[in-house]
Each structure stands twice: as structure tokens, then as C-alpha cells.
Amino acid sequence: GSAGEMLVRDLLRDPERAYLPLAFVDDDASKRGREIHGVRVMGNCDRLPRIARKLAADLIMLAVPSADKDQMQRMIASVEETGLPFRTVPPMKELMSGNVRVDQLREVMIEDLLGRDPVALDWQAIEGGLSGRSLLITGAGGSIGSELCRQLAGLSLEKLILVENSEYNLFCIERELGESFPQLAIHSHLADVTEKGVLDRIFSRYRPQVVFHAAAYKHVPLLEEQIREAMRNNLLGTRNVALAADAHGAEEFVLISTDKAVNPANVMGASKRAAEIYCQNLNDRSETSFITVRFGNVLGSTGSVVPLFKEQIEKGGPVSVTHPDMERYFMTTREACQLIMQASVLGEGGEIFVLDMGQPVRIQYLAEQLIRLSGKKPGEDIEIEYIGLRPGEKLYEELFHEQESLQPTAHEKILQARYRPVPWEELTHFIEDAETACNAYDCRQLSDLLTRLVPERTDHSGGRECALQDNR
């Protein structure tokens, strides 16, 4: 194809001749036997192993930037039989942007095999809604927070305020943004969302117009035994940031949530659902517009399965899969953040936006594909070990509750869910009781309170014992 022709042309022009093209492989039978820039088309994809052996090739280059998931999987299967390393050209959307060249080869990534279609964004609406404004991001050094920073920093902001409780993560994102966007006014604060006084000073000083609240604890098994910390950070921390936004005149507050908040089977999901409820109900009492954006797993985020599987593969296995039927929704960090920005300019206040995550992916399939991308064979070179569901885990995640009616929005990848109102006085009492229980390390009370506010919680056993329970 045209990408293969451009790739060979660029390789032949390279004065260092790092790669010497030996042959083309193309499924178009009409091209067989032709020569392009002196390089012959020797057969189709199925003949790749035989051709590679005959020519003593050292590397396979995949030059199909428009390949969908099924095409990429078929090509990878043929490449596997050669036992050779392989690289791919960038996807078509990156080539069309003009930011990369066809000869900028990279490794095939798991994203290439999951088949997520490129997201078409209304950049005019995003720029119109966010450019020239002051933005604050909590959890600015995390997986979602840092990518939000990168995307938002290119919108000609008035200023960008970073709030992060990890010194190292804050240092990294501040340095990166400073190098990439030297003209942007960046203000970094090493701060914890559980500290109301610090947040008040930050909001009072900078008066952010839009707040993206990405700070959260998210590791399900760990938080099953840390309900106090989950509630302090995910609920009370959200309350603190939300009230600071309200008190200091922020125009919009965007809560980053999770599909684990739907019919939660764990402390983490229930604490995030409680945060959703608080923000949606505060919206009715505030001049600030509060919206929630809910989505599933992000590929490659800290502590997620992809980096864990890669680490296990590098060590020779086995790769630990909880259950052969476990499924999860996945999207890339970049895609998630783009849709968060899009949702932020769609929202008027009170909405729960649900990102279209596509089809769920079996975790076993994910593990098998990562093993193949490493040049190994699942079950032969690298074993897959089933370890069973851990506390708080479900086989399947859901993106919305059965009582939440989904409605379309102006963007095809973003849906809107109706929320369940809670009397404000009841919600206020709940928050006060939760804060008292946190201060007393009363985790049984916290678990009972969480079940009361989130009655759809399906596992009531998690979090009933504190790591530092006060037994006096």
C-alpha cells in the first residue's frame, strides 16, 4: 500500500541505511511480482514466515496504518510464526496530523489490538469553553491528572494550577509542562485534598474558573482494608474541593469517577459513588456547575493490569489472571482525557456523563495478546495462572445503574445518566457522621454509613475492620 511505498522510499533515502528493505508482503494479489523502488512483492500475509526464512530477514515492519483490530491480530499471528522482532508505522490519525512520519517506527502496543476507533472531538467547543481561563487540577501528577494537564496546557490558558500530594509526581509533571509550554503560567502546590485549610488558601489565591478533580485512591483490594482512607480521600476530599470551588466562585467542577461506582462491590467503588451523590446534590444548591464523568479502566495507568502483566512477562511468567471470564472496559488515557474535556463543555450542571467504552475486553485475552507482543507464546513460553477473584472484585463492570436512564448528548461517545437525588439535610448528616467515624477510626460505622448512602452496594463486608482500629 501507499504507507509501505513511503516507508521503503524513506528507508532507501536514509544515508545511514539503518534498514535494508528485502521484500513486500501484500494481500492484494494484483500486486504480486511487482517491484516498488526495486523491492519485490513476494506474496501475501500468510506466506510471511516462509518469505522471512528464505530472505534471512532480521525485522518485520508493519506498514498498514489503517489496520483495524482484526487485521492487526491476523498480521501479528503471521509475524509470530517467524520468531522475528517487529515494528509498526504510526496509526493513520497521527500520520494525517503531520506530527509524525511514516518512517517513525514503534513497537506494536496493546492499544493497536483492542481496536478502539479514533475519537472525533469538537475542538472548537473545547477551545471556546476552556481557552483563556484559569484551571485547577487535583491529582495532577496521576495517570489521568497528568494527561489532562498535557492536553489542557495547549489551549492558551490564563493559568494552570496543579494540586498533587506526591512530591515526585508533582516534580515530574511540573518539569514536563515547563519544558513543553514555557509561556504557560503554571502554579504547583504539594497539597492533600483532605486538608481543607490548604485548599481554601489555594482557591482564595488563584480563583480557578474550572476545576478537574482527579485525585482519588483507586486500588480495589488495598482499599477493602482501608475504608477510613478511602472515605477520607475519595468522599471527604471531594467534599473539601467541591466546597472550596463553591466558596470561591468557580464556574464549573468536574468530578472524575469510575464504572466501579455502579452497583459497587467494593469500598473503592462505593466511596466514589458517594462522591458522585454529593457533587450532584451540591449542584442544586450552588452557583458552581457540578458534573461527573464516569468511565472504565485506563490502559497503562499506574497499578493497572497492563504494566503488571508486562512485568510478569519480563520475569518469565506466570501471568496472573483472576478468572478466565473476567471482563473490563478499557480506553487509552489520551482518549479518556479528551472525552473528559468534551464533557466539561457539554455540561450545564447536575449531569453524570458516561463515556462510551466500546465492548468489554476479557482479561485473559489481554494477557494473551501482551504475551504475543513480547514475542512469546501463551501457554508454552509464558504460562497463565488463574488466582481467583480478590476481595471486592467483580467478573463484570457496569457503566450505569439500572435506575439511571441513559440519554444521548451532542457527542456520540458521551451519554448522560440521570442521578438519584438525596435530601440535602440527610446528606449533610451523613458527611458529618462519616467525618466523626474517620476521626474515631470507627470502620464498622463507616461501612454501615456507606451502605446507608449507597444501598445498591452489593458487598457489605468490605472495610469493616480498620488497619489501625481503635479498640478501646
Catalytic residue numbers, as ranges: 260
Distance CA(142)–CA(145), nearest Å, equals 5
Task: Please say whether the beta carbons of 366 and 310 come within 8 A.
Answer: no
**Side chain identity, residue 371:** I
Cα 469 from Cα 386, distance rounded (Å):
33
> How many residues would you count in the chain?
472
Cis status, amide bond into 360, omega within 30 of 0: no
**Side chain identity, residue 433:** D
- The values of phi and psi at residue 391, to 5°, are -55, 130
Pair type for strands 289-295 and 352-355: parallel
Work out the widest C-alpha separation in the chain, in whole angstroms. 84
Are 292 and 257 in contact by the 8 Å Cβ rule? The answer is yes
Please state the separation of Cα 231 from the chain's center in Å.
22
| Euclidean distance between CA atoms 377 and 250, whole angstroms | 53
d(CA 385, CA 379): 10
How far are the Cα atoms of 45, 419, 436 from residue 55, in angstroms, in the given order?
A: 15, 62, 73
All residues at 6 or more sequence positions from 430 whose CB lies less than 8 Å from its CB, including other chains: 449, 452, 453
